[in-house]
Amino acid sequence: MRKVLLLTIGMFALGFDAYVVAGLLPDIGETFKISASESGQVVSVFTLCYALAAPVFATLLAGKPMRRILLLALAVFSVGNGASALAPSFFWLLMSRAVAGMGAGLFSPLAATAAASLVSKEKRGRALGMVLGGMSMES
């Protein structure tokens, strides 16, 4: 269950990311001299890329070695977030949030699949509950 806990922490980070950025929207608007609706696009682009990437990656990567892909997904997510923090313009902030969203969309479905495959049949429900609950713990 230790590996399932690590997947849960990863899912927590994905969910936490969206809430942290939402709280920063007024500062983003002020920094880049944009309106509140424009700064809201930062959350929208992340969510859109997440929603589009999740089913695509889940389908394309079925049966591939999950450990490497999960690590790659977290790396993409982290690079996207790091680039967001250093974005010199609003355009680059949007692009980096898109990258972070794709990393999140890659991680999320594979984390659930990995959790189910890491435990015995009797513990699958608990493992899935932990991993999927990780995303909702941040709120």
Distance, in Å, from the CA atom of 10 to the CA atom of 131, rounded to the nearest integer, reads 8
pTM: 0.91
Query: Where is average pLDDT lowest: 41-50, 105-114, 129-138?
Result: 129-138
pLDDT band of 18, cuts 50, 70, 90:
confident
- What single DSSP character describes residue 99? H
What ranges do the domains of the chain cover? 2-137
Per-residue model confidence as pLDDT tens digits over 27-50: 999 999 999 999 999 999 999 999
| 53 Cβ contact partners less than 8 Å away, ≥ 6 residues apart | 101, 102, 104, 105, 106
Q: Are 97 and 42 in contact (CB under 8 A)?
A: yes
Q: Which CATH superfamily is domain 2-137 in?
A: MFS general substrate transporter like domains (1.20.1250.20)
* pLDDT confidence band for 138 (50 / 70 / 90): low
